Structure 1
Amino acid sequence: MTAPTPDRVAWRRFQQLWSATATSNLADGMLMAATPLVALTLTREPVAITAITAIQYLPWLLLSIPMGTLADRADRILLLRIASAIRAIGVGLLAVGLATGHLHIAMLYGLAFLFGLAETLYDNTSSALVPSIVADHQLERANGRLQATYTVANNFVGPPLGGALFALAVATPFAFGAAGYAAAFLLMLLLPLTRRERAQQAGPTTSFTADLREGVRGFTGSPMLVALCVLFGIGNLVSSATYSLLSLTVVERLDATSATYGLVLSGGAVGAFLGGMFGDRIGTLTRPGTALLWTTLVSGLATASLGWTGNVMALSTLMALDGFAVMVQSVVGVSLRARLIPDHMLGRVTAVFRTLSTGASALGALAGGLLASALGLSWPFYVGGVALVMLAPVLFRWLGNARIVASASASGRAPAEVS
């Protein structure tokens, strides 16, 4: 019998991680629909509702860099197990509280922060793990599969299921979500712990603080990473400012039902799934800088159009277009980011990157709520979409194809790998 090749071994291990992540993302999707619906039973104030999203992203601003540093010092599989366990316990406790009638918006705020904390640990660790277990030429494929799975479970299957379970009983989607995270934890136990060798074995063991500072310097010393972070940060700010108001938009402006909200999210999930599945192929046909430009423009136009659409079908279609563009951008951008960072620093540098880019979502949620309260529900979509369209050409000057090739060459990658 022929021994498996290194590529097949690497991909088989990735598939194990992939299956565990899919289960966790299905739980994410159910709670994505259920949590705003619970909030709507308590208040219709836009700021109070968007505060849930802002609190969930707060750990990205406060704790992302320490979490990323931890991902470079501790066993990454072990950290993923811990994050899954935190989610299972937190959501399980909320399900019990809801089932017993102890329903208060403070519970949702507490869950949002706990969720954000676990997500910060999980995402920083998994972002560092994937490039270290797959071959370089498998990176876009792996990222595309993960993003597509995220979309199907987190948006396509999870939200309609969460909405249906919410209609059955308020606590039901949270009970199923807790079970999903528990299943992910059990699947993580099947993955062998990683015993990675530190790159600085010859020297003395460095302190946690020294590693953290090295991660910050690794990010600030790369103009390409900074420019890419600006692009992701603005995109996340706009998405958070608009998507955090979707439940209110569907229920109030379109006068639809709570079950329709889950179907609206599914529209965006269809486009995002296609973007995740075919993003790697598009990356081979279009140079990275060009792909980042057109996806930003398409996302901006779709977002602005969401503000004036008057029916559910049009809303779902526009979200599908936006989802496709954003997912292709994610596949291209995340793969580029991984190639610019050495493996032993992936956790720290990625954490600095995501502190700024993902942390912008907290500011976006608050800005969206304030803008909606002052001018109306449509205005966050108008302002966010126009901002993306106007900023795309400016960002392209810093993320042009020639600059990307030069940065990849400086990091030790051959230009052909990113052109």
Structure 2
Amino acid sequence: MSDATHDQAAWRRFRQLWASTATSNLADGMLLSATPLVALTLTRDPLAITTVTAMQYLPWLLFSVPLGTLADRVDRMVLLRTASTTRALGAGLLALALATGHVHILMLYALSFLFGLAETLYDNTSSALVPTLVNDHQLERANGRLHATYTVANSFAGPPLGGSLFALAVAAPFALGAAGYAVAALLLTVLPLTHRKRRSPGTTTTTTTTTATTTFVEDLKAGVRGFTGNPLLISLCVLFGIGNLASAAAYGLVSLTVVERLDGSPATFGLALAGGAVGAILGGMYGDRVGKLTRTGTTLLWTTVVSGVAMAALGLADHVVVLSVLMAVDGFVVVTQSVIAVSMRARLIPDHMLGRVTAVFRTLSTGASALGAVLGGLLARALGLTWPFLIVGAVVVALGPILFRWLSNERIEAALATKAPALEKV
């Protein structure tokens, strides 16, 4: 098979995963705006509202590593189908509860936790799957497409649709979301089951099999050692973790900011998020090209600083349009940073360990969002709706120059050149 034909076949496989991801993330986006709006009908306490967001991210702290280890032991395609089906059932249950008027804030917390658990399984597994579907030189392009799709559907296209449907009927976004997850599960049936290379203990060669040759606990411990043995991964995790904590603290308050401070409506909240679509699309489609304009460490630095400035400015926005523009700027730089950083992370971790090492990484980085959501609620309760944005934005701005010491261009290039030998020995 020629290189061109091989590239085309790899990209066809990726497009099938891409279609499923787009459908499920559109459902995620609808629930992202609709779920806080349900909370607003039950309470106006900032902490109670941001707890809904915290419950969605809590599974990253509690279950990310076990689920990531599972992604290295069980067929990844089966796990993706299971995650999509679980979300379809959960969204359908919430739609039924809303339609019959039997919803309670505790039920909202429980279902948010379920959605987060399924998302943790799906995201850990899909992150590990992408490098096995495409060729190495297609990695940035594939990650760019996925991140653009994730950001646009999950943060900008889905939310206005969810907000508009909520204004028509409170159960509608959840019913349509359940259908979206079901379609995503069906799309995944087009892709064949995966057969990955696994390494037997004490060997340096790999054989193609789906049978585990080590215990679950041994694999889990190896994933933790693989992460802690790489200082570059740790530094990158700190960057993502603090950024996610700040984003959750700020964006968990956007619905309340629009409705309370800017006198908007549920539909306006969705439109506010949709305003960032252009920035997110540009970041996903051209983030790899923008990243090449400067060296990798420099890109991580300037995107972090710009994101922090945009986040702080959200607290001073006096109109929904201004809010949308600032979110577009933040969406562009965050997706650009993710395209570069996630591709770099994939190259640092061998395929047979991608699931569990990535899971350890995301336990700390994405799990920080749960703490950030609670922090945002506490700050808003104590200081009002403006100061949380200013505080977390300032923290992110200060983070960039500090971490550049450990994520310098020289350190990154040296690690990529050696292909992270410390991990290969795990």
Tell me the TM-score range normalised by the shorter chain. over 0.9
Match of 1:161 in 2: 161
Paired with 1:154 and 1:224, the residues of 2 have a C-alpha distance of 29
Paired with 1:24 and 1:214, the residues of 2 have a C-alpha distance of 31
The one-letter code of the counterpart of 2:189 is: L
Deviation at 1:255? 0.8
Aligned to 1:397, the other structure's residue is in SS state: coil
Conserved 8 A contact 1:232-1:357: yes
Aligned to 2:199, the other structure's residue is in SS state: coil
The one-letter code of the counterpart of 1:114 is: L
Match of 2:250 in 1: 242
Deviation at 1:4? 6.3
The one-letter code of the counterpart of 1:318 is: L
Paired with 1:316 and 1:401, the residues of 2 have a C-alpha distance of 33
| Structure 2 length-normalised TM | 0.95
- Structure 2, unmatched stretches of 5+, are 204-211, 422-426
- Structure 1, unmatched stretches of 5+, are 414-419
The one-letter code of the counterpart of 2:140 is: E
Deviation at 1:280? 1.1
Paired with 2:420 and 2:215, the residues of 1 have a C-alpha distance of 27
Paired with 2:177 and 2:13, the residues of 1 have a C-alpha distance of 25
Q: Deviations over 1:227-277 (max 9, x none)?
A: 000000000000000000000000001111111100110122321121111
The one-letter code of the counterpart of 2:254 is: L
Q: Deviations over 1:23-74 (max 9, x none)?
A: 1011111111111111101100000000001111111011000000000001
Match of 1:309 in 2: 317
Match of 1:218 in 2: 226
Equivalent residue for 1:354, pick from 362, 380, 383? 362
The one-letter code of the counterpart of 1:410 is: T
**Equivalent runs, 1:286-365 vs 2, <5 Å:** 286-365=294-373
RMSD after superposition: 1.5
Moved over 3 A (4+): 1-4, 201-204
Aligned to 1:198, the other structure's residue is in SS state: strand
Match of 1:117 in 2: 117
Conserved 8 A contact 2:317-2:323: yes
| Structure 1 length-normalised TM | 0.96
Match of 1:172 in 2: 172
Conserved 8 A contact 2:33-2:160: yes
Conserved 8 A contact 2:201-2:214: no
Deviation at 1:120? 0.7
Q: Deviations over 1:89-128 (max 9, x none)?
A: 1111111111111021112101110001001100000000
The one-letter code of the counterpart of 1:170 is: V
Deviation at 1:153? 1.7
Equivalent residue for 1:274, pick from 282, 285, 300? 282
Deviation at 1:344? 0.3
Conserved 8 A contact 1:156-1:270: no
Aligned to 2:238, the other structure's residue is in SS state: helix
Q: Deviations over 1:207-233 (max 9, x none)?
A: 000000000000000000000000000
Conserved 8 A contact 2:196-2:352: no
Aligned to 2:405, the other structure's residue is in SS state: helix
Paired with 1:201 and 1:134, the residues of 2 have a C-alpha distance of 27
Deviation at 1:156? 2.7
- Which range moves more in the overlay, 198-207 or 293-302? 198-207
Paired with 1:197 and 1:373, the residues of 2 have a C-alpha distance of 51
Deviation at 1:158? 1.1
Match of 1:7 in 2: 7
The one-letter code of the counterpart of 1:407 is: A
Paired with 2:259 and 2:278, the residues of 1 have a C-alpha distance of 22
